[in-house]
Structure 1
Amino acid sequence: MPPPQGKQSAAQLGQVPLQANLDAFLNLARQQARNPDPITDYFRIPDRLPPTWQTFFNKVLKYAEKSCAENPQQRISWEKRGWQLEDEGIISEFEMIMSAGRMKDNGNKEFKKGNIDKALTYYASSIQTFPLPDALLNIAQAALKTNRFPLAEQSCTNALDIGLISSPIIKSKALFHRAKARRHMGKFSDALEGMCRPFRAQTRAKGQQYPD
């Protein structure tokens, strides 16, 4: 039955894709699932970096690849990040790092005011802009304060997995927060192991014996 005179059909309005377009989209989706874009496509890492910075970005790329392997949905988040770089005309990851730092600082201000949900929103935006361990640990702290224990556990794990924590004190803090979250989740053996690891590392560094 033809559409009423003077009105356009759904296809004419562009609401119903043509079969050829739909097939092309599905073929592209299958191709990307089999051969996804390299994670480097979603970053703007400058060339000819000093070795320290090159190591820094290599760790971030490795973390991003690992997150995609463990959860394919993560690739969508990284892809959106790549679109953000293009849309905003960002040419360097250093701009993203600075932006992520500002968002984290805003989150800290809200956290001090007791606005935990607002703080979490800022922290989440910070790690989506650039995944740094300090913002992830801030998420964990805010999540613990509001009894969001799975979020706290995962945030601590992510902060440790990136491999950018050089301070033993900060690493111990991450392990402690994760152990605390796991204890509340009923993962008692994992929590105990998490509590022992920082103390074991410190005593071994001093040449003392610590039972495994």
Structure 2
Amino acid sequence: MEPSAPSTIRGVIDSLRSSVLQNDTATASASQKITASSSSSSSQNAEASSSKGKGKAVEPALPVNEDQLKVLMDMMKMMPPKVSTFFKIPDGIGPRWQDFFQRVTLFFEIDSNSDPDALPALEARKNLMDAQNLSELEMYMNASHFKKQGDAEVDEDIFKAKIWFTRSVMTFPLPHACAAMMFYAYKSNEFALAEKYGTKALRMDLLTDSWSIGQVYYMRAHARYRMGQMQRAKEDIILSKHYDPLNADADALLGEIDKLRDVLRHPELVKAWVREQPQFEPELSVGEEFRKLEEISFIYARFTPEQLERVKTDDEKYCPVF
């Protein structure tokens, strides 16, 4: 499966944009029908009212179909709120910031369509912003700080490092924080978690360095390989080699995947192989984890009005490049 350049992720985003537009069109059409029906009903009632004074017979109103009304109400309840309810692009920002936030918005759209936990997490994030009176630019700044705190803990306390990385991603989706979570989840044999964060890092479409993109694909291929998803792992390895042709380890993993695909031809064999892979074993007790959590203090910093205006407008200096 030959990749067609860095547009792989952009293609997914373009498909999403098309899907969103189609959904919006369908919603608008349905809304117009309901409005037209409502207007027609109001007009009939008004005519009936005016005819009373003229001595004309009043036609009885059509009965409400309770079953249809209930179905409509249930459908409205099932429709989740839009991402734009919880994430808004800041006003008054420069063009580089504008492009950056548009990519983040599209990431949230894709993520909320594929991960059932994404939209509730986005709502919780918005509640935090409102409680702390934080702007999106301040959320980005704090997420960058939390990522650095995690980097500082890597050699000393990997559990604390993962907590900092998790808080960073919860605060603002940064691809290098997701990549760090993927790497340390893989080291802990949490392969599904590693695959999840690798996917998030790539979905953001913010990584610009070919080597970094290749490494994320390579690590996600490893995670999928451990999960028994050989075809998907092979696709990732091919993409990894496209972005990072000098990675000799990718060739070795590709050979191993091809060999196993020939052997594991039955689902039961795949399940047996997955059971033989290293399993996640917590290094700390629940009590020790709580104690370490109590040692960490998440303090959110804020810009002064002057600083915020400077960050907004000087996007050449402050807008990140990953």
Query: Does the pair score TM above 0.5?
Result: yes
2:64 counterpart residue number: none
Decide which of 150, 162, 170 is 1:107's aligned counterpart. 150
Q: Deviations over 1:19-38 (max 9, x none)?
A: xxxxxxxxxx9687445433
Q: Match of 1:61, SS?
A: helix
Q: Whole-Å Cα distance in 2 between the matches of residues 47 and 134 of structure 1?
A: 26
Question: Cα gap change, 1:127/1:201 in structure 2, threshold over 3 Å: closer, same or farther?
Answer: closer
1:142 maps to 184
CA 100–202 in structure 1, closer or farther in 2 if over 3 Å, else same: closer
Alignment of 1:82-93 (within 5 A): 82-90=126-134, 92-93=135-136
Q: Output the CA distance in 2 between the equivalents of 1:72 and 1:33.
A: 16
Percent identical residues: 31
Residue in 2 that maps onto 1:61: 105
Report which of the two structures shows the higher radius of gyration computed on alpha carbons: 2
Counterpart for residue 198 of structure 1: 240
Which residue is 1:11 aligned to?
Answer: none
- Contact 1:110–1:119 (8 Å) recurs in 2: yes
Check whether the contact 2:210–2:243 (CA below 8 A) recurs between aligned residues: no
Separation in structure 1 between the aligned mates of residue 180 and residue 115 of structure 2, nearest angstrom: 23
Partner of 1:39 in structure 2? 83
Q: Deviations over 1:89-131 (max 9, x none)?
A: 11x2111111001111111122122x22221111111011000
Give the conservation status (yes or no) of the 8 Å contact 1:99–1:126. yes
Q: For residue 48 of structure 1, what is the amino acid of its counterpart?
A: G
Contact 1:97 1:129 in 2 (8 A): yes
Paired residue secondary structure (2:155): helix
Q: 2: distance between equivalents of 1:96 and 1:85?
A: 8
Residue of structure 2 equivalent to 1:51:
95
Alignment equivalent of 1:130, drawn from 151, 172, 177? 172
Whole-angstrom CA distance in 2 between matches of 1:67 and 1:121: 21
Closer/same/farther in 2, CA of residues 200 and 72 from structure 1, 3 Å limit: closer
Match of 2:205 in 1: 163
Q: Any idea what the Cα deviations from partners look like across 1:118-150, whole Å, max 9, x if unmatched? A: 211111110110001000000011111111111
Return the alpha-carbon distance in structure 1 between the equivalents of residues 79 and 235 of structure 2: 39
1:152 counterpart residue number: 194
Bigger RCO (CA 8 Å, 6+ sep)? 2
Instruction: Pick from 104, 121, 134 the counterpart of residue 77 of structure 1.
Output: 121
Q: Distance in 2 between matches of 1:108 and 1:33?
A: 43
Deviates more, 1:59-68 or 1:152-161: 59-68
Which has the higher mean CA deviation after the structures are superposed, 132-141 or 60-69? Answer: 60-69
Could you say what secondary structure the match of 2:92 adopts? coil
**Corresponding pairs, count:** 173
Q: What are the ranges of 5 or more consecutive residues in structure 1 without an aligned counterpart? A: 1-28, 204-212
Taking structure 2 as the reference length, what is the TM-score of the superposition? 0.50
8 Å CA contact 1:104–1:135 kept in 2: the answer is yes
- Deviation track 1:34-54 (CA, whole Å, cap 9, x = no partner) reads 454332332353213222211
Partner SS state of residue 95, structure 1: helix
What is the CA-CA distance between 1:200 and the residue it aligns to? 3.1
What is the letter of the counterpart of residue 150 of structure 2? G
Q: Find runs of 4+ consecutive structure 1 residues off by over 6 angstroms.
A: 29-32
| RMSD, aligned CA | 2.1
